[in-house]
Amino acid sequence: MKKTATLMLTIFYLVSLSACNNDGPKTSGLALLQTTHPSPTILSENKDKEMDVAKDVEREISKFKELYDVAVIKKDKEMLVAYKVKHLQRFRMKQIEKKMTKLLEEKYPKYTFIVSSDYKIFLEAVELHESMKNPNYSKKKAKERFDRIVKLRNELT
């Protein structure tokens, strides 16, 4: 009886200590569970012209049969492409990434591409997309956030 009580208490402590984190996901909380199909996000001034390129890229990536969700973020000459791979195709994730990078770099040599199939990158991309809808969200902040995502993508350990 006492043992069970101790165990319950420990579990209760673990749960209550790990709860409540204010930086958690807000609107984009379900981005990992369902397909979201966010439209491309542009972090520079002349939106219309750059939107065409970004949309083009998104259409190009969506042609891959192994994927089911794509998010594109564009900051000047850098473009972040995050996507989710169908579960059984995850064995070939490296090959898909290689193929995609090659295709994008050949088609759009002017831009540098950051390609990632990581859920975290996708989640962050969707979150950034959501916060860009808010007109008060400053461009400078968004760009800083973009750089943070790129840094996160290159982290290995």
Partner 1 sequence: MGKKKMTPEQQKYKELEQKYELKRPVLKNCLRAFLVGGLICTIGQAISYFYIYFFNFTEQTAGNPTVATMVFISMLLTGFGVYDHLGQFAGAGSAVPVTGFGNAVISAAIEHRTEGFVLGVGGNMFKLAGSVILFGVFSAFVVALIKTILMQWGVL
Does the protein bind partner 1 through residue 8 (CB under 8 A)?
A: no
Does the protein bind partner 1 through residue 155 (CB under 8 A)?
A: yes
Strand partners, 73: 41, 80
| Residue of 1, 23, 106, 109 that binds partner 1 (CB under 8 A) | 23
Phi-psi region of 37 (alpha: psi -120 to 50; beta: other; left: phi over 0): left
DSSP state of 108: -
Spell out, one character per residue from 79 to 118, where the chain touches partner 1: x when CB under 8 A holds, - when not.
---------------------------------------x
Which 32-51 residues touch partner 1, going by CB under 8 A? 32
Q: Please state, in angstroms and rounded to a whole number, the distance separating the CA atoms of residues 14 and 144.
A: 34
130 three-state secondary structure: helix
Give the interface with partner 1 as residue ranges (CB under 8 A): 3, 6-7, 10, 21, 23-25, 32, 118-121, 123, 152-153, 155-157
